[in-house]
Every structure is written in structure tokens, then in C-alpha cells.
A and B are shown apart, each in its own frame.
Chain A
Amino acid sequence: MTVGTQWVLDWARRSAAVLSQHRTELGDLDRAIGDGDHGENMDRGFTAVMAKLDDVPQDATPSDVLRLIATTLISSVGGAAGPLYGTAYLRASESVADRDRLDSSAIAGLFAAATEGIVQRGKALPGEKTMVDAWTLAVEAALQSAARDEQPVQLLASAADAAEAAAAATEPLVARKGRASYLGERAIGHRDPGAQSTALILRAAADAAVATADD
């Protein structure tokens, strides 16, 4: 079983829908320990992505679409999330260059490349109460799933589960990177908004696989 360009397109559409739906929740999380614009910024970014998806040519590869998402997010999200997610999609695009279909190991590789991009850009490590917490645990789950020879649908569900658990696990942490790091212990008890948006986006990836695998 594999996924292809339709998976990436559906993933982006589902991300846009879920981020729009959770816009207020993400904003509230960010207002508690940041500057409050994360919900609005992500919604604006994926709305801009949606507007471009209609023009994607028939023969576009997964890599082409991921690159389009990357450049659109970089110039429309703003804040730290724009460069971070933009870099993630850019590295993801590079990792699957010239492939039409993605199997489990290619998807795990795509997430690993995205995470590497985020770590490189934001210089945050796991445990510092950032989106890196969600991405790294998702990659770990994806790699383990691929090693068990599981199918993409299963792999993506495991990655989404791991990201959701990781987002919840940021609540008791003190932030070491990002705006929340200025708050010290006052950040304890609040979920990191970047980890939460990551969990939403990775759940959208899993749902898109169910809808489009071997499309």
C-alpha cells in the first residue's frame, strides 16, 4: 500500500479545515504563554495554501505539492511558525523528490526530514516545550511502525497518536525556547501551541491516508 499526490493534497485540505476549526483554541493556548497569534497565523497560512491547490497541475508529484505548501506557508504564516513549518515542508519535499508513490519507509523518512528541518531552524531540542516535542515522538513512532512493516495508514495513525500524546505532555514543562521561555515556571500547566498544531496537522495526515491510500 502506498500514498501519492492525492494524499498530500488531501492532507493539506484537511489541515486547512482542522486549523480553521481550532483557530480559537490555538490562539488561546498561545495567548497564555506567547503572543496569541498562532491560531490566526496558521489559519491564514493554510487558507493561502488552499487557494493555490486548485492550480496544481495533474502530473504534480508529492514533492511538488509539498514544496508549494512550504513556500506558501513561509510567506503567509508569519511569526516563528512560518519559517518552522515552511522549513519542515521544504525538507519533506526534498526527501521524496522524484517519487510518485510513497511507502511506509518513505513517509517515515519524510517526517524525519521535516523534523530535522525544524530542529535546525529553531534550534530546540525535545523536552523544551515546543513543536519539536510532537514532531520527534511522531517520527519515532513512524520509524518503529515502518520497521514493523506496517502500512502507511497504520504508520500515520501511530505518528498522529504520538504527536497528540507529546502535545499533552508539554503541559507540565518549563519552556526553554520560544516566547514562552521568557515566562519561566509560569509556563507550567499550559500546552505548547506549536506542539498542538503539529498534532492537528499529523492527525490530518493520518485521516488523509485513510481516504486516499492507493488512490
Chain B
Amino acid sequence: MTDAEQTTHDRVAVVIVSHSAQIAAGTAALARQMAPNVALEEAGGTDEDQLGTSFDLVSKAIERALRGSSAVVLCDIGSAVLTAETAIDLMSERDRVRVRIADAPIVEGAIAAAVAAQTGQSLDGVVEAAEAARPASPRGSRTSATGGPVPVTSDADADRYVRRATLTNADGLHARPAAEFVRLAATFPVKVMINGKDAKSLLGIMSLGLMRGATVEISAEPDGATAVDALAELIESGFAGKETR
């Protein structure tokens, strides 16, 4: 299903729960930039607009999110998680099964979840995308445990379809271009790899830290040739006219 065929209502909504109203609003704004058709609900700070968490604000944000099909919740520290869990526990069975809390850092997780939701992924898929943001912090995963550069893994088996493309856009494969890339990759029902990372994993791709001028290797099983070509062309076009508004 493409973006156009799906309404905001059908997509998984993203709820952002923070001790700070500014963090919640800022995180939502960042995610919205990359996922314009996803419902993003914020619950930041207390009822008196202080730092902290409010059961009522959190409950209401989740309820608003559940006007759609389902929702994923991203939290910052400590009581944000406890409050969200308690709010969900007290909901009706019918609502409870449609909401999940992702165990992920709030900013990275919210962005990954929103992009996955934008591509029309299921609740499970959106939670998985958010949680993939957990171990693979952009800075941490650029180097291996021994400190050396991560080798480009062997996508290039004899029978895989492989294409190389050079990044020409100013920002390289960061943030919005990476989101655009993931959105396109998600429209194909095949597993595509880019430099050893899943082409449908936003955080995986961002963790590669690919700058302008870098050459990437995109590959798939032979039946994924169309997907590889489309993704290579997106990169070579410099994401011209394709970036999210």
C-alpha cells in the first residue's frame, strides 16, 4: 500500500512521553518532518507545566492516538515508562491490545517509529523499527568493538543483484534522505541491503554515516533487482524533488 492510499487514521500513531513539554514537542516536530502523515501525540511535563510526568496527560495522549488503528509509545527516563504502562494497564482490553511501548531512546526511537509508520508498517513492524534504534546509536555503530571501521559485509554473493551508487546530495544519507530511502525500500516486498544494513531500517542506514561522495553498494536476491535499481536511482538523483516537504 502506498502513502497516498493510506490515511493517517490507518497508520500506526506515535505517542511521545517526556518529563519535558519541550522535549516532547521537539521530538514530535523532528519525527513529523520525516513522517508527515503519521499522527504524533505528545505528553510532556506535568499538569502544572512543570518537569515531570502526568498520568492524565499520558492517558489522554494515548487515547487520542488510539482513534487510529494502533499506537506505539516512546518514553524518556523512569517514570515516563511507569506512567505509560499504568495508563495502558487501566485501559479496556480492546484498547490495550492496540498499543505497545517501545524500548528505545526517545528521539531516535520516535523518528524510526514514525518513518516505519509512514511506510504503512504494522504495529509490530513499527515497534521493531523503534527498538532497532536501541543498540545501534549512530555514533557507536560506526566502529566495531575493536575500534576499527566496520567492514562492508559480503552482500556481493555471486548470485545477488548488486548496484553501486554515489551520494550526490549535500547531506549524504542522513535524516530526511535516509527516511526517503527507507520509505521507497519499504514499497518492495523483498529484502534489500545497503552496505550490509537492512535498507528498511532507518537507524541502520543512518548509523552508516554516509556523507556526500560516498559510494554505496545496494544488493538483493535476483528477484529484488527492480527494488535495487529504484533505490540506486533515488540515490543517484540526489533525492531531487523526492525529499519530504
A118 to B90, CA, bound (A): 15
**A80 touches which one: B46, B51, B79, B89 (CB < 8 A)?**
B79
Per-position 1/0 for B119-144, Cβ under 8 A of A: 00000000000000000000000000
How many contacting A-B pairs (Cβ < 8 A)?
Answer: 45
Chain B nearest CB, measured from A32 CB (Å): 17
Interchain CB contact under 8 A, B79 and A75: no
Stretch at the interface among A83-91, A101-109, A149-157: A83-91
B77 touches A (CB below 8 Å): yes
Residues of B within 8 A of A81 (CB): 79
Per-position 1/0 for B46-67, Cβ under 8 A of A: 1100011111100000000000
B85 touches A (CB below 8 Å): yes
B118 touches A (CB below 8 Å): no
Closest to A80 in B: B79
**A75 touches which one: B55, B78, B82, B89 (CB < 8 A)?**
B55
Interchain CB contact under 8 A, B86 and A79: no
Per-position 1/0 for A24-52, Cβ under 8 A of B: 00000000000101000000000000000
Residues of B within 8 A of A78 (CB): 46-47, 52-55, 79
A186 touches B (CB below 8 Å): no
What class of interface size applies to chain B in its complex with A? 10 to 19
A193 touches B (CB below 8 Å): no
A82 touches B (CB below 8 Å): yes
Contact residues of B between 25 and 80, Cβ < 8 Å to A: 46-47, 51-56, 77-79
B83 touches A (CB below 8 Å): yes
Residues of A within 8 A of B53 (CB): 78-79, 82
A178 to B56, CA, bound (A): 21
Interface of A is mostly: helix
A147 to B29, CA, bound (A): 58
Interchain CB contact under 8 A, B86 and A87: yes
Closest to B77 in A: A179
Per-position 1/0 for B74-101, Cβ under 8 A of A: 0001110011011001100000000000
Which residues from chain A sit less than 8 Å from chain B, CB to CB?
35, 37, 74-75, 78-84, 86-87, 121-122, 178-179
Closest 10 CB pairs of A and B: A80-B79, A83-B86, A83-B82, A75-B55, A79-B79, A78-B52, A80-B82, A83-B83, A74-B55, A80-B78
Q: A78-B79, A79-B52 are in contact. List 6 more A-B contacts (CB 8 A).
A: A35-B52, A79-B53, A82-B83, A82-B86, A83-B86, A179-B78
Which residues from chain B sit less than 8 Å from chain A, CB to CB?
46-47, 51-56, 77-79, 82-83, 85-86, 89-90
Sample of 29 A–B contacts (CB below 8 Å)? A35-B52, A37-B52, A74-B55, A74-B90, A78-B46, A78-B47, A78-B53, A78-B55, A79-B52, A79-B53, A79-B79, A80-B79, A80-B82, A81-B79, A82-B79, A82-B86, A83-B79, A83-B82, A83-B85, A83-B86, A84-B82, A86-B86, A87-B86, A87-B89, A121-B85, A121-B86, A122-B82, A179-B77, A179-B78
